[in-house]
Structure 1
Amino acid sequence: MYEIHAVSDGRLMPEALAEWAVAVHPMVDYIHLREKAMSARELLAAAQQMLQAGVPPSKLVINDRIDLALAAGAGGVQLAWHSLPPAAVRGCAPDLRIGRSVHSREEAAEAGRQGADFCLYGHVFPTACKPGQQARGLEQLAEAVRWSRIPLIALGGITPGNAGTVLAQGAAGIAVMSGICGAPDPVAAARAYRAAVQRAAELAETPDMDQAQGTAGGEQTWM
């Protein structure tokens, strides 16, 4: 029911990156190749190494670079604020699964209007990846979910311990960078996140009294 997006953190060598991706992909739904320091040639080589190592193309998402996603045969692309708008990408790459990084309810709504398939919203909790930047918190996350016409994936400071609380706000899944890519044992970490997500899904499938009486309110349009 809920998705897990594992995001590379720019700290692994290409060979280790491929080993990490193939090891954790059975526990996650998508692997994001987010390596801002790599050249186009290096990114393409890293993507190809991941695919050759056994990562399914449908699981591989390339950050920002539509050209490299197409060249590598990846299944998706993750667009940042400075990237091409989703509508433009859809026109030239109709088969790519398009994600959009958003930071507000308005941006989440616009991502849906532009034709993105999902959006990554963050950061929800304080994280070392965004030092000094104010976390948006659960209340703003829930509001962004209500405004979004497409599945919203929560990002930033998410752990196995708080993943259930995040998903209870209506997020369609979680995205994790250092929690998996930077973990001493990435496979064990990915398993812990998968277990947390499964527990949240089981709780979501258990109707409370209000839902049983048909009083549950506004469901998202993507559900």
Structure 2
Amino acid sequence: MNGQLHLISDGNFSKQHLNILMKIHSAIDYFHLREKKKSAGELIEIINVLEKGNIPLHKVIINDRIDISVMKKCAGVQLAYHSAPSTLVRKSFPEIMIGQSIHSLEEAKKANAKDIDFLVYGHIFESRSKVGKTPKGVYELKSIIDYISLPVIAIGGITPERAEAVINAGAEGIAVMSGVWQADDPVKAVRDYRKVLKEGIIER
């Protein structure tokens, strides 16, 4: 998974998001459909639209909704604190990729199991989606990475300029939202992220 770029939807998926995805999907590793307020039917409709836009579903990870991920044959599911236990998901659906969102070392310890493929940890820096909340920082990120064996994808306020520090701390990749969706030029933003991920990695 080293050097991966994950793009997270921002809860307001629209035609504009689709247009951006159609331009950049070949340069990202995974797209996380994270639309908490949408119904199952609405999520399936979005996935159908992605398919029609020739966006490969083997790059799509669904937040929480294991059933939809399996039915639509997506890459996998991103579990949250309220989701079904990862052990049950793995036993029931051994073919799908399983990610787990964590926010502390204690959560990382509990999630450090063979039934999970990767962790998403943050927020690392100040973020537009986490206004007023203290960021975790690179030091805490490294503490978690050094303690556990699972790949960690860092999220939260990661600009191309900050990405190298995150990768050098040992993260297997980064996840971004506003850094792409709200960029003046999303294509250039993805290209800048990809450049750092490719050239800024220091072997551990």
TM-score, L = length of structure 1: 0.86
Contact 1:154 1:174 in 2 (8 A): yes
2:158 corresponds in structure 1 to: 158
1:28 corresponds in structure 2 to: 28
Alignment of 1:180-195 (within 5 A): 180-195=180-195
Larger radius of gyration: 1
In structure 2, give the amino acid aligned to 1:75. A
In structure 2, give the amino acid aligned to 1:8. S
1:70 corresponds in structure 2 to: 70
Q: Distance in 2 between matches of 1:173 and 1:97?
A: 16
2:198 corresponds in structure 1 to: 198
Contact 1:6 1:181 in 2 (8 A): no
2:119 corresponds in structure 1 to: 119
Kindly, what percent of the aligned residue pairs are identical?
40
Q: Distance in 1 between matches of 2:76 and 2:182?
A: 23
2:148 corresponds in structure 1 to: 148
Q: Distance in 1 between matches of 2:18 and 2:93?
A: 25
2:13 corresponds in structure 1 to: 12
Contact 2:24 2:187 in 1 (8 A): yes
Contact 1:122 1:154 in 2 (8 A): yes
Contact 1:153 1:172 in 2 (8 A): yes
Contact 2:69 2:75 in 1 (8 A): yes
Q: Distance in 2 between matches of 1:175 and 1:79?
A: 15
Q: Distance in 1 between matches of 2:13 and 2:117?
A: 28
Alpha-carbon shift at residue 70 of structure 1 (Å): 1.1
Alpha-carbon shift at residue 103 of structure 1 (Å): 0.7
The answer to which of 109-118 and 130-139 deviates more is 109-118
Contact 2:13 2:35 in 1 (8 A): no
1:149-200 alpha-carbon deviations (Å, 9 max, x no partner): 2100000000000100011111110000111122232212111110111121
Contact 1:5 1:31 in 2 (8 A): yes
Alpha-carbon shift at residue 114 of structure 1 (Å): 5.8
Give the total of aligned pairs: 203
Alignment of 1:78-157 (within 5 A): 78-113=78-113, 115-157=115-157
Q: Structure 1 stretches (4+) deviating beyond 3 angstroms?
A: none
Alpha-carbon RMSD: 1.5
1:12-31 alpha-carbon deviations (Å, 9 max, x no partner): 32x33332222221111101
TM-score, L = length of structure 2: 0.94
In structure 1, give the amino acid aligned to 2:19. E
Alpha-carbon shift at residue 106 of structure 1 (Å): 2.2
